[in-house]
Amino acid sequence: MSDATSPTGLGPFERVRELQPRAPLPRLIPVRQHYDVPAEPDVAAATARELEALRARIRPGMSVAVTAGSRGIHDLATVVRAACDWLRAAGAEPFVVPAMGSHGGATAEGQVAVLASYGVTEETMGVPIRATMDTIELGRVVPDGPMVHLDAQAARADGILLVNRIKPHTDFHGEIESGLGKIAAIGLGKQRGAEGIHVYGSTGLARWIPAVGRHIVETGRVLGGIGIVENAHERTARIAFVEPDGIAGPAETELLAEAGRLLGRLPFDDLDVLVVDELGKDKSGSGMDTNVIGRMWIDGVAEPERPRVTNITVHGISKASYGNAVGVGLADFVPFRVLEDIDLHALYVNAMTSGIGGVRRAKLPIALPTDEAAVAAAILMCGRPDPENVRLVRVHDTLDTVHLLVAESLRTEVDKQPQLEVAGEPVAFDCTPDGALPDWPQLEA
């Protein structure tokens, strides 16, 4: 990594520019974690196959809104394009709607730009993209519940096809988490709908996401959904068509259980320090996957049992996040460069839309001048009296739990786990002269 130091202009942080904590940095073993996982060999063909269940409901010339919104889905563009192609071949007139709450700065133009970063454009999809932040109100599920909002463009269509990945949520756990019910309730609800649900707090998400999703489905507008289940390599394991009565219902719950079994995780229960090269909205809705790092940090939500990580350092924000550093509050230490890359407006809009779930996750960690200083401070402040034996792991991001750099102190535990393979000789944790993280070593084939 480069640009470890920053020019002046960081206000009160300038007072710590000369603060350079020192700690022994461990030698790191390149490790590859193997997963025995299914993979879908032809995603487009699988999408078309699954949509055949819908054929009898397609009328010539009917307009169909196809949702696209969640970040980090490897084959999103492929699935959406295949769905649009199938719908056109069946005689429908599909179009794409951005279904993403407040993302893209809570503007229609910003949401179109976010879709483009996923490879979803009018040119690549071959159909129009109709973006708006306007919604229609469908009433309340119960008198004291949130108002149900529906994207105005989707509401004008003859039918809606939901497309989303089904996976464990990073804010709560329940029978319905991230998936088709969520893309309906939060995505098609746009900013007003998302805010209306999040105001009940993260514990309320488990109740209101499925309830609002079902309310939208029960209008009869939703034709069904294409659920994407990914494996630990972040590749499509399965494409499944879900009938309307299964959305935010038993069929989706079954797919969520499958996704949970396939989720990539860290192979250690206890760590002193986790070094994360990059967080981002394209990595997780919470910047870092809370199921991977073992931190929820939301008032009223139970913390995961594992892993238990004392300190986390984060060293960059992905370009695809456009400065939205939501989740930076899940870290304990960052270099100044991260502060410079944060778009506070984007971060705060996202955090405020999330309600209580955004409070701690939008806070700033301890900021130090360089990557090396951030890691050293994390080691010095982890509560270990023998820092030379620190239990440290480095990952590029929380999407990738396959490629790990593991401190030599964990070698015995690596050798005991059959899914872990040493992929090279130990390397020194030698930061550059200006304090940047060292490049990742070339791993053995």
pLDDT, tens digit (0-9, with 9 covering 90-100), for 108-156: 999 999 899 899 999 999 999 999 999 999 999 999 999 999 999 999 9
Q: Are 94 and 87 in contact (CB under 8 A)?
A: yes
Comparing C-alpha atoms, which of 276, 295, 283 is closest to residue 338? 276
pLDDT band at 378 (very low <50, low <70, confident <90, very high): very high
pLDDT band at 442 (very low <50, low <70, confident <90, very high): confident
Give every CB contact of residue 244 below 8 A, 6+ residues apart in sequence.
217, 222, 223, 224, 225
pLDDT band at 445 (very low <50, low <70, confident <90, very high): low
Judge whether residue 281 has pLDDT over 90: no
Give me the pLDDT at residue 106, please.
Answer: 82
pLDDT band at 8 (very low <50, low <70, confident <90, very high): low
Domain ranges of the chain: 13-35+265-428, 43-262
Q: What distance in Å separates the CA atoms of residue 337 and residue 150, rounded to the nearest whole number?
A: 39
Judge whether residue 262 has pLDDT over 90: yes
Q: What distance in Å separates the CA atoms of residue 301 and residue 98, rounded to the nearest whole number?
A: 29
Judge whether residue 2 has pLDDT over 60: no
Superfamily of the domain at 43-262: LarA, N-terminal domain (3.40.50.11440)
Q: Are 276 and 268 in contact (CB under 8 A)?
A: no
Give every CB contact of residue 278 below 8 A, 6+ residues apart in sequence.
314, 315, 316, 317, 318, 396, 397
pLDDT band at 1 (very low <50, low <70, confident <90, very high): very low
- Give mean pLDDT, residues 199-208: 87
Q: What distance in Å separates the CA atoms of residue 163 and residue 178, rounded to the nearest whole number?
A: 12
